[in-house]
Amino acid sequence: MIRSTRNTNLTVEALDDRLVPATVLDLTHPAQVSTVSANGFVAQFTHTQPTGTGVIQSFVRIQGAASGGGIEQGYNTTARPLQFDENKSPQFTRALTVGEVPTVSVNGVTYRQFLLDINQKSSSPLLSVDEVRIFLDTVPNDTGYDPAAKTLAGKAPVFDMDAGPQGDVSVLLDARLNSGSGSGDMFLLIPDTAFANADLGTYVYLYSKMGGQPGATANGGFEEWSVRTSGTTNVLPPGTASISGVVYLDADHSGTLTPGDTGIGGVTVELRGVNDAGQTVVLLTTTDSNGNYSFTGLRTGTYSILETQPAGYLDGAENLGTVNGQADGLIGADQFYDVYLPVGATGINYDFGELLPPPPPIGGSS
């Protein structure tokens, strides 16, 4: 492994509750230095990676510059609301398991490989990666990062980029060296020994902070951490959330399901959405003889429920249901959308009302 020896002659000064590190590992001249290392980790410059579904899976997007900050930070989780500068979409900020993170071998040492893609203005392309910490847990929705204690949900990191004989370090990157977003700029290799006591279903949290170095602050689009899927084993625990409702004849035209209303069987109901693993979900079911439908085994995500209008009925009112007792989602024509299901959540009473057409006038049309 090669460690950068380029001296940046940086001045130590207070900045956002940390000191500007005296050691900057420089990856902005990959023709001379393409691999740097410190405190047990390895950072590698990478040329543009092939992208697309099935090639890389992003697990956290961070964009602090959009809110006026030159420094940005965040971590992946299914918890909402998010704590820092993370993108709230569950497609891009989600749970990650040990089984999703590929392993690589460098000089006989096994590492877990993470891919970082950065976006900066061409006029100011440098960005520093100042802090990275890895946490492990048995649940996907940890929150409450403590910058002073450097803990997440009260747990200490299993890896800290700044913990080791080299002390506080940063990695300096140049966004001009690769074009476009989603292609990758740096591989970060974390020793596999940090994950030694974790099974493949253990959840991985990656906290990072970027833009702390003078002349290398965040100023463009989002930064994105991802993992490559090639050669990996994607072991995802089954989902534990569910959502259900009824398609019914609103006999009294009350607009809600009341005693005396009857269920309508055989109606097609579709579930669409994106879960916390970034997977597109499309499921179909039909209502039973009592008009009931349900979708179970769902991972955390944001979903829509769509009803196929049953023949012989007029569209009635849609009744917004609840997730864990709280109303959630929006109502459209024959659908509910933006329904967010946290881990293990129960969504109920997403009901579709239908009406009978009026009888023809006595004696025919007038």
292 and 348 in contact (C-beta within 8 Å)? Answer: no
157 & 279 share domain: no
- Of the candidates 16, 47, 204, 48, the residue with the CA atom closest to the CA atom of residue 128: 16
What pLDDT does residue 135 have? 98
Helix (H, G, I), strand (E, B) or coil at 360: coil
Structure-token match 């990656």, residue found: 206
251 & 349 share domain: yes
Residue 166: inside a domain:
yes
> What's the token pair of residue 175?
């966004």
Residues 97-136: pLDDT tens digits? 998 898 888 777 889 999 999 988 888 999 999 999 999 9
46 & 143 share domain: yes
Residue 210: inside a domain:
yes
Of 228, 262, 280, which closes a domain?
Answer: 228
Question: Using alpha carbons only, how large is the chain's radius of gyration in Å?
Answer: 26
Of 228, 252, 274, which closes a domain?
Answer: 228
> What's the token pair of residue 318?
């849609």
- Of the candidates 304, 321, 320, 297, the residue with the CA atom closest to the CA atom of residue 269: 304
What pLDDT does residue 3 have? 37
What pLDDT does residue 321 have? 96
Of 183, 207, 228, which closes a domain?
Answer: 228
Residue 36: inside a domain:
yes
123 & 254 share domain: no
What pLDDT does residue 5 have? 36
List the CATH number of the domain containing 341.
2.60.40.10
167 & 303 share domain: no
Task: Indicate the residue type of 100.
Answer: E
Residue 99 phi/psi, 5° resolution? -65, -20
Please tell me the total count of domains within the chain: 2
191 & 106 share domain: yes
- Of the candidates 165, 173, 134, 176, the residue with the CA atom closest to the CA atom of residue 151: 134
> Per-residue pLDDT for the chain (366 aa), expressed as one digit of tens each?
333 333 333 333 333 444 444 599 999 988 788 889 999 999 998 865 554 444 567 899 998 765 556 899 999 999 999 999 999 999 899 999 998 898 888 777 889 999 999 988 888 999 999 999 999 999 999 999 999 999 999 999 999 999 999 999 999 999 988 765 556 789 999 999 999 888 988 999 999 999 999 999 998 888 999 988 644 444 456 689 999 999 999 999 999 999 999 999 999 999 988 777 666 788 889 999 999 999 999 988 889 999 999 999 999 999 999 999 999 999 998 999 999 999 899 999 999 999 999 888 876 554
96 and 141 in contact (C-beta within 8 Å)? Answer: no
Distance CA 216, CA 237 (A): 39
Please name the helix (run of DSSP H) or strand (run of DSSP E) that holds residue 37, with its range, or none.
strand 35-38
Residue 360: inside a domain:
no
142 & 178 share domain: yes
186 & 247 share domain: no
Residues 254-281: pLDDT tens digits? 999 999 999 999 999 999 887 776 667 8
SS3 content of the chain, % helix, strand, coil (to 5): 5, 45, 55
| CA distances, 311 to each of 78, 249, 267, 283, 335 (Å) | 39, 12, 9, 21, 17
**Helix residue spans in the chain (DSSP H):** none
Please name the helix (run of DSSP H) or strand (run of DSSP E) that holds residue 209, with its range, or none.
strand 203-210
218 & 271 share domain: no
- Of the candidates 348, 343, 294, the residue with the CA atom closest to the CA atom of residue 322: 348
Residue 361: inside a domain:
no
- For 45, the domain range is 14-228
268 & 193 share domain: no
DSSP state, 193?
Answer: G
129 & 220 share domain: yes
Residue 337: inside a domain:
yes
Cα of 351 vs its chain's centroid, Å: 29
83 & 158 share domain: yes
11 CB-contact burial (10 Å; exposed 0-12 / middle 13-18 / buried 19+): exposed
Distance CA 193, CA 191 (A): 5
What pLDDT does residue 248 have? 97
- Who's near 13: CB < 8 A, 6+ residues apart? 19, 20
Residue 365: inside a domain:
no
Residue 1: inside a domain:
no
